[in-house]
Every structure is written in C-alpha cells, then in structure tokens.
C-alpha cells in the first residue's frame, strides 16, 4: 500500500487510521524487536511514513506536525524515527514525492485515454479531474507550505523520483496537442498545480464576520479550475509559432 493509498483510506474512513496502524505495529512487533535486516528496516520506514500520513490527516496544519506525535502514533521511540529521517522536513518531502508521483501517473493515464480530437477543454478537464480526485490533493498544500531547505537527501530522492515523471507527462501533453513545444506541457502542469492550490486556499479562508449576506458565494473550485485551465491551454495553442 502506497502513502497515497493509505491517506485516501484514512480520509474515506473519516478517522485517524488507528486500527490500520495498530495492525501494522502488531505485525512488525510480532516478527522482530529491532530492525536489523534490510527488509525489516524498509518495513519500519514504511510504518513511520504511514503514521506521518495519518497524523497529517487529523491536524489542522502541518505546522502542528511533530516528530513526538508521529513517534507516539507509530508506537516507536522518538530516537528510532530519527534513525530513518533527519527531521520532519525529510519526512514531508518523502510524502510529497509519493503524492506527486501518484498524481502524475493518474494525469498521464487520463491524457492517454482522451479521444481525438484533443481540445483545450478536454485536456483541461482531464487535468482538473486528476487534481480533484486525488485523495491527497488538499494535504499536498499543507506539505508544500511546511517544507524547508533542511530536507537534505530526501530532496535529492524527491527530484530523482519526480523529474522523469514530469518529463514523461510533458511528452504526452505535447503529443496530444502537437502545436505545443517540448517543455510547455511541463509548464502547463506546474501552472495547473498553482491554480488548484490558489483556488483551494481562497475557498478555505474563513469569511469575515461582517460580510454582507448579499455577497455572492464563492464559485465552485472545480468549475473555476476547469475554466482557468482551458484559458491557459488555449493561450499556449494561440501563440505564434
């Protein structure tokens, strides 16, 4: 089970995933007390990441995410967590890599299935639906806000994992819309994420207490994102070549 799947599981259940983690802990403890073999270390590392994902699912902000809380949730000593990750930024960077990897794979799948002719609204819809349907999209915003420059090796691993997927996504987008130049598909995806995060932020901001009841309600994020992405893609296609 990947981190993305686990987060979706916790979100769907509406709880903190304690039952799942308890079973994982019991399984790990039943087989070993210390992680000496490579497979045991991998299992323990995965347990830490699953506990981190569950913790992020129930706190109001990733700023409240602490190694101490994570260790308690995983049933491990705080020092044990530090054997696998130098700091919380390294954990968040690893989780971020899992989230973006899952999202890009989904985007590529949707783009490959688009029927001809591929139009700006069709492509915008595919990208929008992938962002919308990702069980971890909202938490991705929190992760991005919480990352710092001290993630070290985790940042290098993140780049190694994500860069090939971004390049492949760019290749597929340019292939489906031949008027685009190589590299413009990658830019399009980055702008899509920025639009999604910005619209989500606007939707989550509390309304002022003195706001007039006559004010129009905020537009649906899905509708706004679809329109914005369509305009973005049409702008690229309309450029002089």
Q: Which range (23-37, 103-117, 131-145) has the least confidence? A: 23-37
Express each pLDDT in 38-72 by its tens digit. Answer: 788 888 899 999 999 888 878 876 778 899 999 99
**CA separation, residue 176 to residues 116, 119, 121, 179, 233 (Å):** 9, 9, 13, 9, 12
Topology at the third CATH level for domain 90-238: Tetracycline Repressor; domain 2 (1.10.357)
d(CA 48, CA 31): 17
191-207: pLDDT as tens digits? 998 888 888 777 666 55
| In the chain, where the domains are located | 3-84, 90-238
Q: Indicate the angle between helix axes 18-31 and 67-74, nearest 10 degrees.
A: 70
118 DSSP assignment: P
- Cα 154 to the center of its chain, rounded Å: 16
Q: Report whether 30 contacts 125 (CB < 8 A).
A: no
């Amino acid at each position: 089970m990947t981190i993305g799947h686990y987060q979706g599981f916790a979100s769907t259940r509406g709880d903190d995933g304690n039952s799942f983690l308890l079973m994982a802990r019991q399984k790990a403890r039943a087989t070993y007390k210390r992680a000496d073999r490579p497979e045991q270390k991998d299992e323990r590392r995965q347990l830490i990441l699953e506990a981190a994902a569950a913790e992020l699912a129930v706190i109001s902000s990733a700023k409240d995410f602490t190694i101490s809380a994570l260790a308690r949730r995983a049933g491990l000593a705080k020092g044990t967590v530090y054997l696998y990750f130098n700091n919380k930024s390294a954990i968040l960077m690893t989780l971020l890599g899992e989230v973006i990897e899952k999202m890009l794979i989904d985007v590529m799948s949707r783009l490959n299935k688009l029927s001809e002719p591929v139009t700006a609204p069709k492509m915008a819809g595919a990208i929008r639906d992938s962002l919308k349907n990702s069980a971890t999209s909202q938490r991705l915003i929190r992760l991005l806000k919480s990352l710092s420059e001290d993630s070290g090796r985790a940042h290098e691993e993140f780049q190694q994992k994500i860069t090939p997927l971004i390049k492949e996504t760019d290749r597929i987008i340019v292939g489906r819309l031949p008027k685009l130049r190589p590299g413009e598909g990658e830019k399009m995806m980055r702008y899509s994420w920025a639009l999604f995060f910005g619209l989500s932020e606007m939707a989550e901001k509390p309304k002022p207490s003195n706001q007039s009841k006559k004010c129009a309600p905020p537009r649906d994020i899905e509708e706004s994102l679809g329109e914005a992405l369509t305009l973005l893609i049409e702008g690229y296609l309309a450029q002089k070549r």
